[in-house]
């Protein structure tokens, strides 16, 4: 992978698509943990995976997005460009830019002063997730078997102890131990009805324009799974008060809230683990910071 500078990525685009104007380009510095994101001519978005694992996820998204077209109430990326390395790994994917800005926490805090705006956003997101969760995976040609969420977190608990505990203060290790052991031993918590989920339904992937949601991006983790993952991402992004409004428009997810809170308590640990896995020191440091 080339060095992370604008010109190196533009060279890759020019080599494949010389017809594109590249005189107006910028890297979106806060746009992705697993992909470098480039905006070209304020018209196109290009995503470059940072690791082989991210390349595989992006290739899977490239196949998934076309069958989702027309099935969801908000705009999603529609891939136009793609290129592979000589070994077949995906090099980049490009699509027409969706208007709007990511609904980052600072932007949400400014908007949240107006209850009508918050209600509109919560209604938009609830409608989107209702539609996504209702899609039969077989209808878009993906396997319907969902990962066992409880087993996933059991494996994560092993990885946390082995890989992250050496970097933590003793009090943080004990707090995490109690949370995992209590959650994993609670049979009621893991009564799950799997469905098609977004898988990363947080601040950077929700776009707003004119105080309403204008699109949803980054479907790398879209797959059959636990809908509490999507709820947990919203909870992490905008807090309990927003979730109250959201659930008023999607009450069927209320039963997922305890599990979403369990996920929320452990997201930083996953970020640290993924940072170690991918050699991303910044992601690791950010994820582990509160526990050192």
Q: For residue 2, is pLDDT > 50?
A: no
pLDDT in the model for residue 34: 84
- What percent of the chain shows pLDDT beyond 70? 98
Residue 29 pLDDT grade (very low, low, confident, very high; cuts 50, 70, 90): confident
What is the per-residue pLDDT for 103? Answer: 96
Residues 145-202: tens digit of each pLDDT: 778 999 999 999 999 999 999 999 999 999 999 999 999 999 999 999 999 999 999 9
Q: Are 237 and 105 in contact (CB under 8 A)?
A: yes
Separation between Cα atoms, residue 289 and residue 228, nearest integer Å: 25
Confidence of residue 30 (pLDDT cuts 50, 70, 90): low
Confidence of residue 234 (pLDDT cuts 50, 70, 90): very high
Is-same-fold flag (6-95; 101-291)?
no
At a CB cut-off of 8 Å and minimum separation 6, what does 276 contact? 163, 164, 284
Confidence of residue 13 (pLDDT cuts 50, 70, 90): very high
Q: Please report the pLDDT score of residue 145 as a whole number.
A: 77
Task: Look at the alpha carbons of 105, 107, 110, 113 in this order and tell me if their dihedral is positive or negative.
Answer: negative
Bridging pattern class, strands 79-84 and 25-27: unpaired
Residue ranges covered by each domain of the chain = 6-95, 101-291
170-184 vs 257-278: helix crossing angle, rounded to 10: 130
Q: Could you name the CATH architecture of 6-95?
A: 2-Layer Sandwich (3.30)
Q: Tell me the C-alpha distance between 104 and 166, whole Å.
A: 32
Across residues 4-20, what is the average pLDDT?
91
pLDDT of residue 32: 67
Q: pTM of this prediction?
A: 0.90
Q: What is the CATH number of domain 101-291?
A: 3.90.1200.10
Residue 137 in this model has a pLDDT that exceeds 80: yes
State mean pLDDT over 142-147: 78
- 268 versus 280: the higher-pLDDT residue is 268
């Amino acid at each position: 992978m080339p060095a992370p500078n604008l010109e190196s990525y533009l060279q890759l685009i020019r080599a494949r698509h010389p017809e594109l104007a590249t005189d107006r380009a910028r890297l979106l510095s806060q746009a992705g943990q697993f992909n470098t994101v480039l905006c070209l001519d304020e018209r196109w978005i290009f995503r470059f995976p940072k690791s082989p694992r991210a390349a595989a996820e992006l290739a899977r998204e490239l196949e998934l997005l076309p069958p989702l077209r027309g099935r969801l109430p908000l705009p999603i990326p529609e891939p136009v460009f793609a290129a592979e390395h000589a070994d077949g790994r995906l090099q980049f994917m490009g699509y027409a830019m969706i208007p709007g800005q990511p609904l980052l926490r600072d932007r949400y805090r400014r908007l949240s002063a107006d209850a009508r705006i918050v209600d509109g956003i919560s209604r938009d997101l609830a409608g989107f997730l209702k539609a996504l969760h209702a899609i039969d995976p077989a209808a878009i040609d993906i396997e319907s078997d969902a990962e066992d969420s409880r087993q996933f977190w059991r494996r994560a608990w092993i990885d946390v102890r082995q890989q992250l505990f050496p970097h933590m203060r003793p009090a943080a290790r004990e707090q995490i131990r109690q949370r995992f052991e209590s959650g994993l031993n609670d049979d009621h918590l893991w009564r799950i009805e799997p469905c098609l989920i977004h898988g990363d339904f947080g601040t950077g992937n929700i776009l707003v324009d004119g105080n309403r949601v204008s699109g949803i991006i980054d479907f790398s983790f879209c797959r059959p799974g636990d809908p509490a993952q999507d709820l947990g991402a919203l909870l992490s992004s905008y807090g309990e008060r927003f979730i109250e409004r959201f659930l008023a428009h999607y009450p069927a997810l209320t039963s997922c809230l305890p599990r979403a809170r369990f996920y929320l308590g452990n997201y930083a640990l996953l970020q640290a683990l993924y940072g170690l896995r991918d050699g991303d020191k910044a992601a690791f440091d950010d994820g582990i910071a509160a526990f050192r």
